[in-house]
């Protein structure tokens, strides 16, 4: 999400500002909505339109969950196809990347998990790891191929005794980002809790100390700088999801 999010105005984007923006975009949107009215569709009430669109987005979450085949693998690519340099993307600019202290770092676990003891980086690095070269697709439209390595997330969830019958896995990140995913995607064989990018320990701009990599979801669903992982049946939402981006956003 390189362009919209690069600007520093994000700091001032309080919920009130977000609401104002939403109202503004609807007003703009209505100029064409007005055209649509010619055919008899009553697009008059902004809040009403937003309600219908939000409900359709929820319906699309269900449709995507149905379409999602837990055994279907995303295509993997040879090293020669890797995009170099791999684009930076976040809701802030590259200069504002958070600097996590690896020595003091502990991954916290919460919610419906049996063993909730925090994990240090050496403990995490000791887990069996796999690599993948897959395509990252941004909600904006661009795509880039990268190589990530880490532990299979389903293995990790099993190891810590996560209740995999729960609906959601939520993530809170050191850069104040948050997101959440469906359990089916969490258990997908290509969903990795990654510590490396291009065979190197993740640099800060790509999410040190860890990023959840899911080639079956859009880029913004792949959280970086993960600090807390929690399992829940309550819809956790997320940073972009709460602003109107589709929650499931599967590939």
* Own/partner long-range contacts of 179-184 (Cβ < 8 Å, ≥24 apart): 179/220, 179/221, 179/223, 179/238, 179/239, 179/240, 179/241, 180/235, 180/236, 180/237, 180/238, 180/241, 180/247, 181/212, 181/214, 181/217, 181/221, 182/65, 182/68, 182/248, 184/65, 184/68, 184/70
Give me the DSSP letters along 33-63: HHHHHTTT-----HHHHHHHHHHHHHHHHHH
Choosing from 33, 189, 204, 237, the residue that interacts with another protein (CB under 8 A) is: 33
Quick note: the x/- pattern for another protein over 75-114, rule CB under 8 A, is: x---------------------------------------
> Residue 10, SS3?
helix
What's the min distance (Å) between Cβ of 102 and another protein? 32
Q: Which stretch binds another protein (CB under 8 A): 61-69, 148-156, 174-182, 199-207?
A: 61-69
Q: How far is the CB of 244 from another protein (least distance, A)?
A: 4
Question: To the nearest 10°, the Cα dihedral for 134, 175, 113, 124?
Answer: 60
150 versus 215: smaller Cβ distance to another protein: 215
* Contact set for another protein, span 163-222 (CB under 8 A): 215-216
Return the number of the residue (139 or 166) whose C-beta is nearest another protein: 139
Q: Does 65 bind another protein (CB under 8 A)?
A: no
Closest distance to another protein from the beta carbon of 159 (Å): 26
The encoded tokens of residue 31 equal: 């100029």
Please give the residue ranges that form the binding site for another protein (CB under 8 A): 3-4, 21-22, 24-29, 31-33, 35-36, 39, 41, 52-54, 56-57, 60, 64, 67-69, 72-75, 135, 137-143, 215-216, 240, 243-246, 250-251
């Amino acid at each position: 999400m390189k362009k919209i999010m690069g600007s520093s105005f994000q700091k001032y984007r309080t919920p009130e500002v977000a609401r104002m923006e939403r109202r503004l975009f609807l007003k703009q949107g209505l100029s064409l909505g007005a055209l649509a009215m010619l055919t008899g569709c009553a697009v008059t009430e902004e809040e009403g339109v937003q309600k219908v669109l939000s409900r359709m987005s929820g319906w699309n979450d269900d449709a995507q969950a149905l379409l999602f085949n837990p055994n279907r693998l995303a295509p993997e690519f040879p090293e020669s196809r890797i995009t170099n340099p791999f684009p930076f993307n976040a809701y802030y600019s590259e200069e504002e990347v958070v600097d996590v202290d690896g020595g003091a770092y502990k991954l916290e676990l919460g919610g419906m998990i049996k063993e909730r003891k925090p994990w240090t980086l050496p403990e995490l690095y000791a887990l069996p790891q796999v690599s993948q070269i897959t395509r990252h697709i941004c909600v904006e439209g661009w795509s880039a191929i990268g190589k990530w390595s880490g532990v299979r997330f389903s293995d990790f969830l099993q190891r810590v005794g996560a209740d995999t019958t729960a609906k959601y896995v939520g993530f809170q990140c050191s850069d104040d980002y948050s997101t959440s995913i469906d359990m089916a995607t969490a258990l997908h064989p290509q969903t990795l809790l990654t510590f490396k990018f291009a065979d190197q320990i993740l640099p800060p701009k790509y999410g040190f100390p860890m990023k959840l990599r899911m080639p079956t979801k859009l880029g913004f669903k792949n959280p970086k700088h993960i600090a807390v992982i929690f399992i829940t049946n309550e819809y956790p939402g997320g940073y972009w999801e709460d602003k109107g981006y589709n929650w499931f956003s599967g590939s």
